Amino acid sequence: LGIAEQVYSELLPFFSRAPELKTHLVVSDDHDIANGWATFFPYPQIRLYLTPPYELSGLQNFDDWLSLLIRHEYVHILHMELAKQAPAAGQKIFGRLPFFFPHSLTSPMLLEGLAVYLETDYEQGTGRLASSWYRMQMREEVRSGEFDTLGEAVIASRDWPLGKYYLYGAFFTEYLIQTYGEETFHRWLQSYSHELLPWVMQDSVAGRIFGKDFEHLWEDFR
């Protein structure tokens, strides 16, 4: 609980606001995998698996396993709960329907990318973006000449390395923040939070904030 409250206070400035409802945190010991999950529906909740990493996956880069896990999953909660104007009004009238949570309907690559980025502490050398394993995998993606297209990266696939949308999403998020600045990235998050048809407006919002649609941003990143 102490870790969760510390993570809350550290992440809140990045997202500017927290959910109105408290997040339910469930600790589970019935899975022998290093993982967890988070959802906003029907209320903010996180499930944590206690098993720490026991095989090479990039998750080994942690100071305290529960701290990294809670931080990653709570990023998802704060990210998916972002809603303003029409979506926020829709929630008040119709309840917590997924349709009124714009960021929940975006690509898994963008959701996981931000969570991996914010789990990483470059100074402490913790988190996947600070791991030599993750950087080795991205170097290999570039060296192989088979760097994913945007269409390939935004979805979960069975290609090696598994979970590539985490890998590409993390480095793409890092690229956007390093190139355009954290303030611009914040404005993109907040602007996207206004959209009632977010999947239709993704390129429009990106063009308005970054000056380029996602296809061109991806080409620059590549």
pTM of the model: 0.92
CB 102 within 8 Å of CB 81: no
Q: What is the mean pLDDT of residues 95-117?
A: 92
**Dihedral, 10, 11, 16, 19 alpha carbons, nearest 10:** -110
Return the pLDDT at 76.
97
pLDDT by residue (tens digit) across 142-164? Answer: 999 989 999 999 887 777 667 88
Three-state DSSP class for residue 152: helix
pLDDT at 64 over 90: no
